[in-house]
Amino acid sequence: MAAYLFRRLLLVIPTLWAIITINFFIIQVAPGGPVEQAIAQMEGLESGMLNRITGGGNAAETAVIEEASNTGYKGSRGLDPEVVEEIKKQFGFDKPIHVRYFEMLKNYVTFNFGESYLKAAT
């Protein structure tokens, strides 16, 4: 019985690694990452997921988004390139994907889950 439990506990490690890896690559490939969200928030064009699904939003937002899709990177609309690079550096998107992946794994192993944006009430 102890050998069975030990084997099952050892299987947790590759299972967690596979889940973390799949999650990381899905998040990295999905459009609308944290850089684009931060830029949209700075410009006041932030729209929630519900607005996207229901077709909410005004015509000005739609025109800006259509214009940005014609020029390339959606996040660069109307902002200085230095600001965009600073945001990329803040979130670590200035590094190659494999470096970000191994840094994430190292942080998880050392229980470093990043900085909290919510301050605890004291």
Q: Tell me which of 16 and 73 has the higher pLDDT.
A: 16
The average pLDDT across 55-66 equals 50
d(CA 86, CA 115): 18
Taking each helix axis as running N to C, give the angle between helix 34-43 and helix 81-91, from 0 to 180 degrees, rounded to the nearest 10: 130
What count of other Cβ atoms lies within 10 Å of the Cβ of residue 10? 9
Q: pLDDT at position 121, please? A: 58
Higher pLDDT, 43 or 54: 43
Long-range contacts formed by 7-11: CB under 8 A, 24+ apart: none
What pLDDT is stored for residue 7 in this prediction? 93
What is the reported pLDDT for 85? 83
Within 31-78, residue ranges assigned H as helices are 34-43, 49-54, 59-71
